[in-house]
Structure 1
């Protein structure tokens, strides 16, 4: 048995069972021609509200045709304040410290066409402060000891949540760490009461106080401190943890004692108490308080330590309970979406304070709402780019809950024709197969089919509690591999799914590789290494070969092209096996075939694992034709470097500069060169009439180009989706959307 680098074919005699999809990182592709004409200007602000003396970034975009000048000149129409610059596409606006008006109006005017301009209206306000609440741990401290506090400003729509700390009563050293937290060190010679106050910067009439007791400890044989919840220096960084706390709170304490101790935490007056046990990784005692029964508000907290001799120490504090807002995003319906120019965002939020605000943001573009948000974002300015949509909910204490989405903004050359509630996996003339999951990096857990004509969505039965991979569209529904959550590759199973039934295709055996096409599914098993073929409509299965390998092919008519243990290419249909090559495996390996039911195209290489070179070979059924010159074997892969469809063959070959170019061979045997760029090009897809989709990277930008027969290639720019010839036109399967190339 041989082994080697990626690209070296090998026989599957062990479970190397990783099914992966490789996505290339793409960048936008630009362009433009003709006399420059400015058609409009748009202005966006990072935030629609700012505080007095606050700043906000403003971005102007000039629309038009041709090589237009993107620069603008800026002016303040009303409201006062200042701009970081009078020109340029981007500036910083600073609001006046004492505004005379509640709003500011800023205008951006095209430098090349002053008749075109746009304005943005900003609200200048702190917002309404409802109050201030404080977390302070401990509230009883020894002379010379330090405590930490954090103040949270309560109020909806606040742009300013900072506080100013001051000492009202008693000696000691107060140090304000940041806009909300501070530390206080008691005087080493003082005992008694200290009172501290936190005043809201947005409204100094709103404040809160905390009373600290400075006294010697109750016992000298126990020393204890609460590290969480609260603020302090962790790993040399000032950090506030669980401020505020939610439905549960982790309590972490440092305890030093001469004798054995029992440690617990409680919320006095509520019946909530939890034991703390040693956590060696965090160098302390740790436990969790269940706070579900508590309403939002400020509560006392006590750490209780009792040693084996009956000595006891209680460390008191106060903390705040406030759940982060619950956020629901109805649209986008999935974590990755592709759009033409507009994106609808629908979201809602709920909070235990009864009010929460919503913001949807794409770079400098944003929309806001209270409680609910239903808006359409205009993304035409981002055409040919991948951008990030963030939807955030904020409660009255400033707690945020956010969800992020990847948004692909297609070029104007793409027209959306269908959208699925998940990630689009496959398409045919009447159906779209999609997957659903829990998040952007989560493996799919569900499958569904959307009927293109009616828009009806039918969930497919899948294996409960399993992750899905390798899902492919079939005549009856879908074929996929399922692995139980928490299981290994040895727990995988192959299934056929329909809206009404889930069928195990090969019970008790592990699928190594699978391909479905029309009414047929082809797969390789472990440990027997059988190559199996099943007609899905009848449920009949046959063993095509043993041992079976990966990277085989099957057509919708059940015609199979495969390579065997002798590294030769064979075909199978209706019980008849035919050998196409008969090369000695000591000198030649024939692997990785693709077929249209008549022609078979494959990789012909030197054996592993010395210096391996490979060519693309074509077998007509009666003769073998070498299509390319030799090159490094790992530069020859099915799909990327060769494809076949209805007698047409697309393949790559080396050009004089050493880069690969795409060639097309007709059913009559005529060949022509499709690409001639100075960079490498690869095959993306091949249509039944010789239509070719090509990928390459030009000036660091990945682009997709398509042809319609003899016409020149059409540059679609940045496209991360997959090209497919469908309904007599090129289509792109991208995120949750099926696009048609205009």
Structure 2
């Protein structure tokens, strides 16, 4: 308690006569304030930020206890943050002075006002007195909720209490306020319909959700004007995941306890952001094999975990089951097997490797026994089979699971020896067929521009269905399994962007997965090319190997076909002959059909197929690289006969030479054949006769690999005994000339030189040693096409003098007089057909539009 009077020493002024000057010289009354008495207003209570009901009053007294009038009394708020009305007051004749006091805004602060009297001449503090008051919270203005929203299983109490805080306009908690709790939807209940707030302003209740799935609501209200709504999500069996954490697939002796306690976890999938469900009642019960448990009624903790107290198996050998379930009908099953052991018999499983088996469970065990065995039997899903011994120590058999439930099972193999001793082996497995993934789109080797449609579904025996996920593969260059789409429930119809891999080839994995994480993967190789210079002609059922404006020639494994753009597709060869394990080496569309060569790993090493008028014929070659075609003409070499030309429009075949080279010869659309012979000279076949273009006879020069368009012939020339370099030479119908001097690198037809319509394209090293593309017009004008700081390679030449060529990673187009323009990445192949370039990439063909 603060005393009601504060005494102070009289301030004396010693005068010359040595007497005190503390008395009025007229009345003789002592006028020096010696004390302040608190008269009234002490210890009041009031609402925060409001004026107290009574004024605060003091009396000023001198040392003799007499009231002093006319004394200035100051009132100051020294704690609590409130205010006084005037701040000062003069005492009346009775020594009384008073003031009005408005409290501060916080009930947590002490409320103190001090009344002070000071020396009128010096300002020195003489006496003071303190008033105390209690601030009370104001009218309820705010109702703040906590632990909202929550999720749990329908019909179950939420794990956290609903909590509200009632406060006034200044955030002061209000105690003793009545909070009413009313279930608005869902049919649930609370453990108390109303509650008084505590000294700290809080009130709480427990909410048990109703039986229906979805959102349920509850209203907390103070009076009729202040309320807040809580919401909770009630989950039913299909929206809760119960998983086995530990304790499944154990073995123990009959009548003994398992070593690991069965434990489950409840998870709310929450749209891909899972979280555990605490406070949910879980019931454990023995459902097979007898035995007993303790503490079968458990409640999940904050991590969603619930565990049985103990599990003792039944007294007989064989399977035991324990089921954990929750109120909405969701359950999981634990299995354990009572197994007999014998020091004389050891049973170990080789197969199934597990844990999953389909509709047939293969069984292979090794049994080591001191004594001969009389019987070996396997039991699974109520079925028993006798195993046989294919070789010493090993016993095998199988059990059909067709019609068996998709469930966890246990194979028990019982071996009995001649003395009646029994030894058992156990292998837990899961009868669960792997999901089947069906991919409609994208097709293998298709082109993403840069988006591609994913149209996939899965089939499975899982009642929960299966999900589809799309990832990059884990293989080198597959970007480590990067997620591209999903997981989503089957089917998946979506588009993904492969823009980060523009100009590259990538393998994506389309994965079907069931609720047990058993997965099946289908892969698709995709090219990513979105250049606006490529206009789609169409797609085929396989890899496009040649194309024109209306047809695509394709290869898919052992099948070859022709797709008619905007129309039908026909397979012209299927199941290539036995022993032919390679893919198409060279393939051409002809005006009347198609021709293609297939290489294999054994004799015959090469085969030529010709498709004409709906019929496929074939013949054995000595080299697939001897095949070339233009127009209706195709050439090839056979062994031992030599080089032939066939007119595929009528089947007429002509022997060109029986001493030709067996690789990289050429034919023009007019039927001219340019080839090299065993003397390494270049010859031209025209009009039924052969003419030497070169006559070096391999003495000083080797002339090989000629290309012709029926007008020009371009070939390689290298010194005898040199194989790692060459010159490029041209025969223009009348004379020979060198196009490119010797380079000590590999020089190849179609990449370093090409002919078409009287035009010639070739590569020649620049001053830095980089191969640059040049062209020669029919009139003999030479032009440098490329000038990059890297080497270039020809991909196709047009009859108008335009050329398509590649650098390391890019592909360019240049007209007969124009500068190069980038058209795409350097993937796929390019041909000149019907007056323009066609690029073939994967299962697609594109018109090049520079």
TM more than 0.5: yes
Q: CA deviation at 1:738?
A: 1.3
Q: CA deviation at 1:475?
A: 3.1
Q: Which residue of 2 aligns with 1:665?
A: 776
Structure 2 residue corresponding to 1:246, chosen from 358, 381, 385: 358
Structure 2 residue corresponding to 1:490, chosen from 580, 585, 604: 604
Q: Which residue of 2 aligns with 1:475?
A: 591
Q: CA deviation at 1:291?
A: 4.2
Q: Which residue of 2 aligns with 1:680?
A: 791
Query: How far apart, in 2, do the equivalents of 1:285 and 1:603 lie?
Result: 68
Query: How far apart, in 2, do the equivalents of 1:620 and 1:590 lie?
Result: 16
Q: CA deviation at 1:694?
A: 1.5
Check if 1:376 corresponds to 2:484: no
Q: CA deviation at 1:465?
A: 5.4
Q: Which has the larger Rg?
A: 2
Structure 1 residue corresponding to 2:675, chosen from 548, 556, 562: 562
Q: Which residue of 2 aligns with 1:313?
A: 423
User: Relative to 1, partners in 2 of residues 1:674 and 1:226: Cα closer, same or farther, differing over 3 Å?
Assistant: same
SS at match of 2:516: coil
Say if 1:472 and 1:479, in contact at 8 Å, map to a contact too: yes
Q: Which residue of 2 aligns with 1:340?
A: 449
Q: CA deviation at 1:589?
A: 0.6
Check if 1:583 corresponds to 2:690: no
User: How big is each residue's C-alpha offset from its partner over 1:339-365, in whole Å with a ceiling of 9 and x where there is no partner?
Assistant: 324322222221123522223456554
Query: How far apart, in 2, do the equivalents of 1:640 and 1:307 lie?
Result: 76
Check if 1:546 corresponds to 2:655: no
Q: Which residue of 1 aligns with 2:637?
A: 524
Structure 2 residue corresponding to 1:637, chosen from 720, 744, 748: 748
Say if 2:726 and 2:743, in contact at 8 Å, map to a contact too: yes
Say if 2:268 and 2:276, in contact at 8 Å, map to a contact too: no
Q: CA deviation at 1:584?
A: 3.2
Q: How does 1:152-301 map to 2 (within 5 A)?
A: 206-213=331-338, 217=341, 219-229=342-352, 241-258=353-370, 265-267=378-380, 269-270=382-383, 275=388, 277=390, 291-292=401-402, 294-301=404-411
SS at match of 1:490: coil
User: How big is each residue's C-alpha offset from its partner over 1:511-537, in whole Å with a ceiling of 9 and x where there is no partner?
Assistant: 6742233322211223x1621222112
Say if 2:337 and 2:410, in contact at 8 Å, map to a contact too: no
Query: How far apart, in 2, do the equivalents of 1:200 and 1:547 lie?
Result: 85
Q: CA deviation at 1:284?
A: 7.2
User: Relative to 1, partners in 2 of residues 1:566 and 1:145: Cα closer, same or farther, differing over 3 Å?
Assistant: farther
Q: CA deviation at 1:289?
A: 5.2
User: Relative to 1, partners in 2 of residues 1:596 and 1:150: Cα closer, same or farther, differing over 3 Å?
Assistant: farther
SS at match of 1:412: coil
User: How big is each residue's C-alpha offset from its partner over 1:138-165, in whole Å with a ceiling of 9 and x where there is no partner?
Assistant: 565999999999999999998879999x
Q: CA deviation at 1:169?
A: 6.6
Query: How far apart, in 1, do the equivalents of 2:687 and 2:423 lie?
Result: 84
Query: How far apart, in 2, do the equivalents of 1:720 and 1:653 lie?
Result: 23
Structure 1, unmatched stretches of 5+, are 1-50, 53-101, 104-123, 171-179, 181-185, 230-240, 437-443
Taking structure 1 as the reference length, what is the TM-score of the superposition? 0.66
Check if 1:460 corresponds to 2:575: no
Query: How far apart, in 2, do the equivalents of 1:562 and 1:243 lie?
Result: 63
Structure 2 residue corresponding to 1:615, chosen from 715, 722, 727: 727
Ranked by relative contact order (alpha carbons within 8 Å, sequence separation 6 or more), the top structure is: 1
Query: How far apart, in 1, do the equivalents of 2:576 and 2:604 lie?
Result: 17
Query: How far apart, in 2, do the equivalents of 1:192 and 1:269 lie?
Result: 13
Structure 2, unmatched stretches of 5+, are 1-150, 153-213, 216-234, 279-283, 287-291, 295-304, 306-310, 473-481
Say if 1:563 and 1:592, in contact at 8 Å, map to a contact too: yes
Q: CA deviation at 1:558?
A: 2.1
User: Relative to 1, partners in 2 of residues 1:311 and 1:616: Cα closer, same or farther, differing over 3 Å?
Assistant: farther
SS at match of 2:740: coil
User: How big is each residue's C-alpha offset from its partner over 1:319-373, in whole Å with a ceiling of 9 and x where there is no partner?
Assistant: 21101111111112x3211132432222222112352222345655425653323
Tell me how many residue pairs correspond in the alignment.
572
SS at match of 2:825: coil
Q: CA deviation at 1:733?
A: 0.7
Q: How does 1:360-439 map to 2 (within 5 A)?
A: 360-361=470-471, 363-367=482-486, 369-379=488-498, 382-413=501-532, 414-436=534-556
Taking structure 2 as the reference length, what is the TM-score of the superposition? 0.59
